[in-house]
Structure 1
Amino acid sequence: MDYDLIVIGSGPGGYVAAIRASQLGLKTAIIEKESLGGICLNWGCIPTKALLKSAQVFEYITHAADYGVNINGTGEVNFEAMIKRSRGVADGMSKGVQFLMKKNKIDVIVGFGKLKSKGVVEVKSNDGSTKDITAKHIILATGGRSRELPNLKQDNKKVIGYRQAMILPQQPKSMVVVGSGAIGIEFAYFYNSIGTKVTVVEYLDNIVPLEDEEVSKGLNRILKKQGINIMTSANVESVDTSGNLCKVNVKTATGVEVLEAEVVLSAVGISTNIEGIGLEENGVKTDKGKVLVDDFYRTNVEGVYAIGDIVKGQALAHVASAEGIICVEKIAGQNPEPLNYNNIPGCTYCSPEVASVGYTEKAAKEAGYEIKVGKFPFSASGKASAAGAKDGFVKVIFDAKYGEFLGAHMLGYNVTEMIAEVVTARKLEATGHEIIKSVHPHPTMSEAVMEAAAAAYGEVIHI
């Protein structure tokens, strides 16, 4: 065998798995057809956060007077420079992964990897030539792409996916965003912040529909106040792109409404990249677009594993990384714990941010728990007031019988940096009273977690 392990795909699942494998003494190669770091580093998590930071800086400038700062004239959006900065950040991160590959003595093979037979991967280079490489273990980490609906075909000009939304040649005056998950809401916030007229169309009853209902409704109010038009319980039936403006036919409870916009962004989830990688030919079982695996990411075919967006669980970068580490540690003969998919934090980086983990209030009740719920509004937080960021709240949910920390749901400034406290607390099986008695620094946004826990038990001080 040429290698102990071959990883197909270099996103946050694949490259992390490769590094951990190298640390554990496995001779490792990684196959990537495009850029190291995959979608996350190049076209997802990282460049979008760079764009959102540009929007935040612009908002600071336009509201500088609120902080006692006078600016001569007004701030002006340089859309091309924002895009350029975002691409520069992404390129820097991809180069960082290149360095990590060299540091960990991982061979990087450029091309399209496909399972050929037991222990054999065929790599097709960009010039069309092919070669076979062999390994005892093969991890599939091929990720996902923007999902296309039959009635919302992407032409990459007027109807676009997230990838085109990051490199538009000029700022559109108007945009319809279809779908209100993290991707849709982040782009809606970004473009609205810099002056684009934005409408969000969501099929379900609430935006960010996976979140606790109070968070969804709270964010809805804030985004509307910011100027975003939001339509829920609405379905895009068709898009006419023949004219200068797209005509978007949206069916609602009251009839069909026609929206006009320069650009339509389809943000209705992702499709998995499992076509053409040799699954059928080698008998690897799939179901509904996902590769079937066990708790340690082994497929039904010996020596073949799968992680990330192409398997069960949340399609998130940090989930793929965790899965890659667990998979490789099991291959190396260690005894890792299976991943607890109910303790995965989810984050949306609009402003204010959304962060959550564990059970929503509704899900906890449906699971049969008798619960205690505590909320602490950021309007009562000294740090939030000083920062000029009083929107939102922290909501925590505990099991009334044993004090188990069932879930937390946050809406507010910088809450994506706060949610890890709850993930760790739940991992360590902390109770509500242990959170209350853990002294939090003052003044901080994170005090709101302690205060919300105290509210659940009738001990809150500051509200």
Structure 2
Amino acid sequence: MSRSFDVVVIGAGPAGYVAAIRAAQHGKSVACIDEWKNKDGKNAFGGTCLNAGCIPSKALLESSELFHRAQHEFKKHGIKTGTIELDLGTMQKRRASIVRQLTGGIAGLLKANKVEGLIGHGKLMSGKQVEFTAVGGGVEILSAQNVILASGASPVELRIAPFDGDMIVDSWGALEFDHVPKRLGVVGAGVIGLELGSVWSRLGSEVTVLEAMDEFLFMADRDVAKVAAQEYEQQGLDIKLGAKVAAAKVGKKGVEVSFDDKNGAQSIEVDKLVVAVGRKPHTENLFSEDAGIQLDELGFIVVDNECRTRVKGVYAVGDCVRGPMLAHKGSEEGVMAADLIAGEIAEVNYNVIPSVIYTAPEIAWVGKTEAEVKATGRAYKTGSFPFAASGRAKAMEQTSGMVKIISSKDDDEILGVHIVGPMAS
């Protein structure tokens, strides 16, 4: 059995489902293949972002922030709440409900746009043939004029701290704790590590974050990173920089984590350990050897600025290609690929992709940091404004942070905007 489509998309995360819908809106016949399976065994569209990343983490970030504010800030507003109690079960049910609603919404969007959603594994073969293996069994070869690979990424697992799904978990596992761990260890002080650490710290965990690099938030502007580090420390996050994890051993009392820092060999014991040291492109069994797809030294699919692979008519978008692993970046690439397939002129401006860390205070930026601008040799100027001088921030009782703008000294072109503070995103 074989069917033909104008476009076959492999992957239904923010890059894949957006590409599929956009292509269908151009009048193309489209199939979108996805094999995501949640921990309850049910398949769902939406990829990591909707099922195990952006959406569930934002739900818990919001709930934990409200819990924290009810405990520490409501009295300042004249709100008497009495004894504040945590109902983690209800909080987790709310998170799961939001995920179900949104993933169901993706399925509805695909159907409304006449995209054929296929549940199972897609594999690119030579000649733009796609081998589709359905979840229930059975293999079908799909013929495509164009193929868009949007297979996403998966958490990096450390050999010295392998995931066991219970004591040592990845970011997905850290979203599904059924109790608040008394002592929580987090390996990695990046976006994911800080967000997850913040959630459980607000809910009562003693959180220790181990970061191998000596510089905190290396990707952010230095002024913003400095303010953020001070705020996290005041909130109780114990962030250890230059801490290189050597081993993690699960015992009867928890997880013993050994690491080396400037003072030599150290160790801590935690009840749960979250490993959040980055993500790697998910390309395993995505294409056959003769499909013509090339990977770079890091395992990313090689593409040009228009997300074209070296095989004519085959594109790759999202986390499986170079650039920041951000849902909105993947979506923009998906739109571009679909538009190019439709014969339109399209591009993604990679210089203006915003980044956000959804802690409290939030951190958000777009464009270059001051160090990056300085490295170009371009004459520039900076301006900053503290939230402590903002009436709105004072009314919110959230005055920590600042806004910093970097512009060209010659023509005032905005080169970078950096915010750390309330609702920065």
* TM-score greater than 0.5 by the shorter chain: yes
- Per the alignment, residue 298 of structure 1 pairs with 308
Query: Which residue identity does 1:322 align to in structure 2?
Result: E
- Per the alignment, residue 435 of structure 1 pairs with none
The 1-side partners of 2:287 and 2:105 are apart by: 30
TM-score by length of 2: 0.95
SS at match of 2:162: coil
- Residue 134 of structure 1, CA deviation: 1.3
Query: Which residue identity does 1:267 align to in structure 2?
Result: A
SS at match of 2:289: coil
* Aligned-residue identity in percent: 36
The 2-side partners of 1:157 and 1:279 are apart by: 35
- Per the alignment, residue 75 of structure 1 pairs with 84
- Per the alignment, residue 33 of structure 2 pairs with 31
- Per the alignment, residue 94 of structure 1 pairs with 103
Does the Cα contact within 8 Å between 1:248 and 1:260 map onto a contact in 2?
yes
How many residue pairs align between the two structures? Answer: 414
TM-score by length of 1: 0.88
- Residue 204 of structure 1, CA deviation: 1.3
CA RMSD of aligned residues (A): 1.1
The 1-side partners of 2:134 and 2:253 are apart by: 40
SS at match of 1:71: coil
Is residue 2:329 matched to residue 1:329? Answer: no
Residue among 7, 10, 27 paired with 1:5 = 7
- Residue 403 of structure 1, CA deviation: 1.3
- Per the alignment, residue 329 of structure 2 pairs with 319
Residue among 215, 232, 252 paired with 2:224 = 215
**Cα shift readout 1:326-360 (whole Å, capped 9, x = no counterpart):** 11101100011x22222110001010000011111
Is residue 2:389 matched to residue 1:380? Answer: yes
The 2-side partners of 1:208 and 1:413 are apart by: 18
- Per the alignment, residue 295 of structure 2 pairs with 286
Is residue 2:185 matched to residue 1:176? Answer: yes
Does the Cα contact within 8 Å between 1:59 and 1:193 map onto a contact in 2?
yes
- Residue 196 of structure 1, CA deviation: 0.6
Residue among 384, 390, 398 paired with 2:399 = 390
**Cα shift readout 1:12-71 (whole Å, capped 9, x = no counterpart):** 000000111011111111001121111101111111100011111102211211111112
Does the Cα contact within 8 Å between 2:126 and 2:292 map onto a contact in 1?
no
**Cα shift readout 1:383-427 (whole Å, capped 9, x = no counterpart):** 0000111000001111112211110111000010xxxxxxxxxxx
Does the Cα contact within 8 Å between 1:206 and 1:213 map onto a contact in 2?
no
Taking the TM superposition and a 5 Å limit, the aligned residue runs for 1:189-268 are 189-268=198-277
Is residue 2:68 matched to residue 1:66? Answer: no
SS at match of 1:379: helix
**Cα shift readout 1:79-107 (whole Å, capped 9, x = no counterpart):** 12211111110110001111101110110
Query: Which residue identity does 2:33 align to in structure 1?
Result: I
- Per the alignment, residue 60 of structure 2 pairs with 51
- Residue 255 of structure 1, CA deviation: 0.8
Taking the TM superposition and a 5 Å limit, the aligned residue runs for 1:402-421 are 402-416=411-425
- Residue 279 of structure 1, CA deviation: 4.8
The 1-side partners of 2:163 and 2:258 are apart by: 16
SS at match of 2:403: strand
The 2-side partners of 1:329 and 1:395 are apart by: 35
SS at match of 1:131: strand
Query: Which residue identity does 2:305 align to in structure 1?
Result: D
Does the Cα contact within 8 Å between 1:180 and 1:209 map onto a contact in 2?
no
Structure 1 stretches (4+) deviating beyond 4 angstroms?
none
Does the Cα contact within 8 Å between 2:130 and 2:142 map onto a contact in 1?
yes
- Residue 205 of structure 1, CA deviation: 2.2
Residue ranges of structure 1 left out of the alignment (5+ in a row): 417-463
- Residue 321 of structure 1, CA deviation: 0.2
Query: Which residue identity does 1:274 align to in structure 2?
Result: T
- Residue 199 of structure 1, CA deviation: 0.6
